[in-house]
Amino acid sequence: MALSTLSDVLRPALRENRAVAGLVTLGWEDMRAYAMAGQAEGLPVILQAGPSCRAHTPLPILGKMFRQLAADVDVPIVAHLDHGYTFDECQEALDSGFTSLMYDGSRKALQQNIDETATVVELARSGGVSCEGEIGFVGYANGENSAGTDPTEAAQFARATGVDAMAISVGNVHLQENKEGGLDEDRIAAIQAVTDVPLVIHGGSGVPLDQRRKLARETSICKFNIGTELRMEFGAHLRRILDADPDAFDRVGLLKQLEAPLQARAQQVLRGFL
């Protein structure tokens, strides 16, 4: 199947009271495991290339990898630029075949974020792809603190930019390794009351499983980004393999053994938003 845009998969999810997983990728083996997870479940997958992925592999190469995986499966695959910080980076992603651009101006003043995101929305429209923006900064575990999304600013941001999806800060944190706490459902309700734009949760690994499913079914949150829990699965299985065979050294052999458990865990993630 050809690559799909973000709107192609989020609008149906919004209508059908479910969510789609944005799976954070780092290399070919996890990308393939996630695409195969979607194939096995008959569900769309958003393959995300974040800053650390792009630091390892150039965008033009990532675009080719995502297109190949989309051609290998019968479910919608979205090639998504996660946390693009500059217009030039978004332009390069578009030129590389990405079908979704996420511009992150959440650290900037509201009007600057609106102006710069709107420019990327125009870029996305010119290329026939989707654009996700972020209003309200989502912090990092043991790092920068979050700045919660103000509902009034969210409504202004959505109207002024025309984004296809809007990432919000409602208690979610990037790189959280546990699922303690949860999201602020009152703030989510206040935001969705003033906009009909599909909402996105970054740092979805830290959201309790029951709350993920509840919010997917009952709110306009229809995309959860999941990265940390899958990286933890990768690391745990790699340690087991090396502990069982301390003399193992072949990269291809090691990584091949990781694809099945990664796919199984990704399938669990995908089912968790139905």
**Is 19 exposed, middle or buried, given 0-12, 13-18 or 19+ CB atoms closer than 10 A?**
buried
Alpha carbon separation from 194 to 102, 125, 158, 217 (Å, rounded)? 22, 24, 9, 19
Give CA 82 to chain center in angstroms.
7
Q: Does 175 reside within a domain?
A: yes
Greatest CA separation for the chain: 59
- In percent, the amount of the chain with pLDDT more than 90 equals 93
DSSP 206: G
- As given in the structure block, the two tokens for residue 163 are 């984004």
- In tens, the pLDDT along 117-161 reads 999 999 999 999 999 999 999 989 888 888 999 999 999 999 999
Alpha carbon separation from 100 to 59, 142, 265 (Å, rounded)? 13, 29, 24
Nearest to 120 by CA among 85, 150, 154, 96: 85
Distance CA 119, CA 126 (A): 11
DSSP 174: B
Spatial contact of 201 and 224, defined as CB atoms under 8 Å apart? yes
Q: Does 1 reside within a domain?
A: no
The parent domain of residue 154 ranges over: 6-271
Total Cβ atoms within 10 A of residue 235:
11
Distance CA 221, CA 165 (A): 9
CATH code for the domain in which residue 144 is found: 3.20.20.70
Q: Does 115 reside within a domain?
A: yes
Distance CA 221, CA 228 (A): 20
**Is 252 exposed, middle or buried, given 0-12, 13-18 or 19+ CB atoms closer than 10 A?**
exposed
Q: Does 220 reside within a domain?
A: yes
Q: HEC profile for 98-147?
A: CCEEEECCCCCCHHHHHHHHHHHHHHHHHHCCEEEEEECCCCECCCCCCC
Total of domains in the chain:
1
- Tell me the residue type at 48: Q
pLDDT (tens place) for every residue of the chain, 274 residues total: 889 999 999 999 999 999 999 999 999 999 999 999 999 999 999 999 999 999 999 999 999 999 999 999 999 999 999 999 999 999 999 999 999 999 999 999 999 999 999 999 999 999 999 999 999 999 898 888 889 999 999 999 999 999 999 999 999 999 888 898 899 999 999 999 999 999 999 999 999 999 999 999 999 999 999 999 999 999 999 999 999 999 999 999 999 999 999 999 999 999 999 9
Distance CA 44, CA 8 (A): 10
